[in-house]
């Protein structure tokens, strides 16, 4: 992907900022972000002096997107990404995920932008009965408003693809970890232990088990796969292994050089971390592999590396 004019929504956030770093030297990058991510422009301000970079501090829900001209490709990360609080305000996921995506697609239709890379999620599967879960698993029965919003977004992208010839690469993420993260289990554990080095509260029972992918593998595979595809398709992004929450706690404790930390599990509903938490997620990545992709990091290695990176950034 070179010499393209690329719009990255949510480009100041966790995965978006890593994507900017990946593409900035060989493409013209426009980021739109309302900086509602707890860190402002911390991760992208270093690009302000780069002639290939343009930043728009604005809310997609409220702005006129048609002021953004001459875009070839949209990479769409913008969303309410904190799954945990969906039950408190489901409309937040609807507005910031579904309505925003629909607005992006309308912008693409009107401005004749024909390619989109979309950050979907394994949460669309809900509590899948088949593990590892392939892309053609169904019916989808998400158990969170976040998962439901991503499922709706996928439907609109495939509909616009059929209507208007848009090529949509839809990526169902496993748990993405690494530098520039602003929330999530690793981030939370480090913050908790920085406040109390003797005790760590762990949501759920610690046996929650998910596939983790490092953010560098995530952004690299998105570009790699998009260039391989010649039409709209859906791809699981993840690893062939899973990592438990208890193991992540151990990695964080060791990374901080702590000893004798007492783990206090909240229990939750059937050991879940919160209402809407899928206790086990394990994606079938055979389609990803068949397209020629191999991740640099396994699930455990992704977590270990992310622990080191997040400790460095927070401390």
Q: Check if 107 is active-site.
A: no
Which one of the listed residues 107, 125, 137, 146 is annotated catalytic? 146
Strands, DSSP E only, in 105-242? Answer: 115-121, 167-173, 175-177, 199-202, 209-210, 212-214, 233-237
Angle at 215 between CA 244 and CA 74, to 5 degrees: 130
What is the β-pairing status of strands 199-202 and 233-237?
unpaired
Would you give the end-to-end CA distance of the chain in angstroms? 35
**Which residues on neighbouring strands pair with residue 214, listed in sequence order?**
177
Q: Is the dihedral of CA 307, 308, 310, 315 positive or negative?
A: positive
Joined tokens for residue 35? 């900086």
Query: CB–CB of 153/118 below 8 Å?
Result: yes
20 — phi, psi (to 5°)? -55, -50
Strand order in the sheet with 243-244: 243-244, 209-210, 280-281
Residues marked as catalytic? 146
């Amino acid at each position: 992907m070179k010499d393209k004019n690329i719009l990255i929504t949510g480009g100041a956030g966790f995965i978006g900022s890593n994507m900017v770093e990946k593409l900035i030297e060989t493409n013209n990058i426009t980021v739109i972000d309302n900086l509602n991510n707890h860190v402002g422009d911390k991760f992208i301000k270093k690009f302000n002096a780069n002639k290939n970079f343009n930043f728009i501090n604005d809310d997609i829900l409220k702005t006129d997107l048609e002021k953004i001209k001459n875009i070839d490709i949209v990479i769409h990360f913008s969303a309410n990404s904190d799954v945990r609080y969906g039950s408190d305000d489901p409309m937040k996921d609807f507005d910031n995920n579904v309505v925003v995506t629909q607005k992006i697609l309308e912008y693409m239709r009107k401005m004749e932008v024909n390619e989109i890379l979309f950050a979907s999620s394994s949460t669309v599967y809900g509590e899948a009965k088949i593990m590892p879960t392939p892309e053609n698993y169904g019916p989808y029965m998400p158990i969170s408003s976040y998962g439901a919003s991503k499922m709706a977004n996928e439907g609109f992208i495939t509909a616009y693809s059929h209507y208007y010839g848009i090529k949509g690469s839809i990526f169902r993420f496993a748990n993405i970890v690494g530098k520039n993260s602003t929330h999530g289990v690793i981030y939370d554990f480090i913050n908790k232990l920085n406040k109390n080095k003797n005790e760590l509260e762990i949501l759920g029972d610690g046996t929650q088990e998910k596939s983790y992918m490092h953010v560098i593998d995530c952004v690299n595979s998105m570009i790699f796969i998009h260039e391989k595809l010649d039409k709209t398709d859906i791809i699981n992004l993840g690893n062939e292994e899973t990592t438990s929450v208890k193991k992540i706690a151990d990695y964080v404790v060791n990374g901080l050089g702590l000893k004798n930390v007492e783990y206090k599990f909240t229990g939750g509903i059937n050991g879940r971390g919160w209402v809407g938490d899928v206790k086990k997620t394990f994606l079938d990545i055979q389609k990803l592999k068949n397209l020629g992709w191999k991740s640099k990091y396994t699930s455990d290695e992704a977590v270990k590396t992310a622990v080191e990176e997040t400790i460095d950034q927070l401390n």
